[in-house]
Amino acid sequence: MLKAVILIGGPQKGTRFRPLSFEVPKPLFPVAGVPMLQHHIEACAKVPNMKEILLVGFYQPNEELTRFLSNAQQEFKISIRYLQEYAALGTGGGIYHFRDQIVSGSPEAFFVLNADVCSEFPLPEMLSFQKEHGEPNSFVILGTTANRKQSMNYGCIVENEETSEVMHYVEKPSTFVSDIINCGIYLFNPDIFQHIGAVFQKNQQDMLLEEPTNGWHRAEAIRLEQDIFTALAGQGKLYVYKTLSFWSQIKSAGSAIYASRLYLNQYHKTHPERLASNKEGGPKISGICAQRWSALSSPPQLGPNVSIGTGVTIGAGVRVRESIILHGATLQDHSCVLNCIVGWDSTIGKWARVEGTPSDPNPNDPYAKIDSETLFRDGKLTPSITILGCNVTIPSEVIILNSIVLPHKDLNRSFKNQIIL
């Protein structure tokens, strides 16, 4: 039997996702029409002999998370449980803390997935690869190729090209090490807990040599990348499976728009029922849409790569492109929304224009990844996706460019390159 563990982090992790993460935990933010986590769960549920999916994080259990888990269990017919950490324990500390729940039932192997990645999730391929390479008790990292400059923003893997063994691992090196990067998706077996336990014991011994503090918290904070993979590299225990399919991190709102595009493109193969189709008298669309349309004298034009939540009202002559429109929003007649996330229950007035700057990877570089955005550069707000928090009202005939609008704001004029508090 197999299990899967999805690391969902906690409230202090989604800071670059604000103000959207004020309303909903980042892992439940809708990407391509469904919660970010659902893409992971769908992929895990398709793996043969998958018995249980465990979510590990330190969000307080809340109604949204409970409802999501209940709905996911019913839809995918698989046990899904949330295990809450008492503190931020890191990628290794979290699974070590709940090792008894993970090994319960004696799974032969288990996947570990970071919640903030977007991927085709080649989990069955990783299983086949693990059986073909190395010892039966070896571990597998999913890797992909980045360009030389961007690779230094990720965990870098030096492999033996003949055997795919990881010979060297460095997390975010200061100089170029390798163009193969860690995708944050792993295949382990229960032996991994011996290696994490050794680090835990070392941390405890180190704490005894220091002045007394509440350091046992820190002793259990263990990072898979720096503490485990670095030590395992070159020991014949760790292998890399390289994928050629799409992959991206989802750290910021801009990367959520990009991830939505990747998933929407995948839907043509995997979920064509989620994609809306053009109908006579209705809008011209190329995206996902969850509402009925009546014939309009000037139908809206939606797409490419538009994700629209339930209960959204879109008027005549509206233009939407490369955007996520969340539940309950209203786009009044002839408004224009480009490279933007429109928050829950927000309203954009007639003839208003809301536009952001895309933060896409270089389209001429097949190995380019989305850049890790900094909010400010040279003392100025970096131009990127425009974000409207929930219940924001944009008046008619104004322009909002490259701005972040916090929730419950009623604007009265145009803004450019600003955070509107």
Whole-angstrom distance, CA of residue 133 vs CA of residue 135: 7
Whole-angstrom distance, CA of residue 401 vs CA of residue 92: 41
pLDDT of residue 345 exceeding 80 = yes
The pLDDT of 376-381, averaged and rounded, is 67
Task: Report all structural domains of the chain as residue ranges with CATH numbers, in order of start.
Answer: 2-249 (3.90.550.10), 275-419 (2.160.10.10)
166-209 pLDDT, tens per residue? 899 998 888 888 899 999 999 998 988 888 888 888 877 777 77
The pLDDT of 350-373, averaged and rounded, is 81
- Structure confidence at residue 292 (pLDDT): 41
Percent of the chain whose predicted confidence (pLDDT) is above 90: 32
- Structure confidence at residue 237 (pLDDT): 87
Q: How confident is the model at residue 213 (pLDDT cuts 50, 70, 90)?
A: low
- Structure confidence at residue 231 (pLDDT): 87
The pLDDT of 140-144, averaged and rounded, is 92
Q: How confident is the model at residue 411 (pLDDT cuts 50, 70, 90)?
A: very high
Sign of CA dihedral 326, 332, 333, 336: negative
In angstroms, the Cα distances linking 318 to 190, 329, 338 are 54, 13, 11
40-51 pLDDT, tens per residue? 999 999 999 899
266-299 pLDDT, tens per residue? 888 888 888 877 666 566 655 554 444 444 446 7
Compare 241 and 383 and report the one with higher pLDDT.
241
Nearest to residue 110, comparing CAs of 5, 259, 221, 249?
A: 5
Average pLDDT of every residue of the chain: 84
